[in-house]
Amino acid sequence: MGGTQPEAGTGSEVDVDERWMRHAFDLTDHAQQAFDEIPVGAVLVGAEGQLLGEGWNRNIVDHDPAAHAEIVAMREAGRRLGNHRLVGATLYVSLEPCAMCAMALVHARVARVVYGAADPKTGACGSVFDLLTDPRHNHRVDVRGGVLGEEAGRRLSNYFRVKRGRPLL
């Protein structure tokens, strides 16, 4: 997909988080418009601020239950780096990761996750489960939730409202 990337090393951490989240939102739009996928986008950024990988949900188009945006972004980053470890990276994702994605983040040694909307049904970063900071794991991931969360939630809600023939929020 590509697109315009936020500049590395500029602004506060909050500003940087919001800029990368907007990039993830661009991917949600692509998922919905090009593939009619549930609009979730993810961007994996290296410790130096470089884009390592990006993805959007591809479950339907790829017939793959594991093709969540987070997994797609991590697979791209792993190929780019030639390594299954993504040490020091931050994942920006429009929806709180599920248990599958959360454990992949732990195994990949991702340093930080920043998500938009909380997932009260399957969220595994504090909403339903808290897998990323569980002290029983040999690696823990810092979590920042709710970044542009209202907008992220509205995007998802509107996707499902259209599917059900209901008016947009």
DSSP notation for 98-164: -HHHHHHHHHHT--EEEEEE--TTT-TBTTS-B-TT-TTSS---EEE--TTHHHHHHHHHHHHHHHT
Token reading at 5: 């990337």
Active site residues: 70
Phi, psi angle pair for 54, to nearest 5°: -145, 160
Q: Phi then psi for 51, rounded to 5 degrees? A: -70, 120
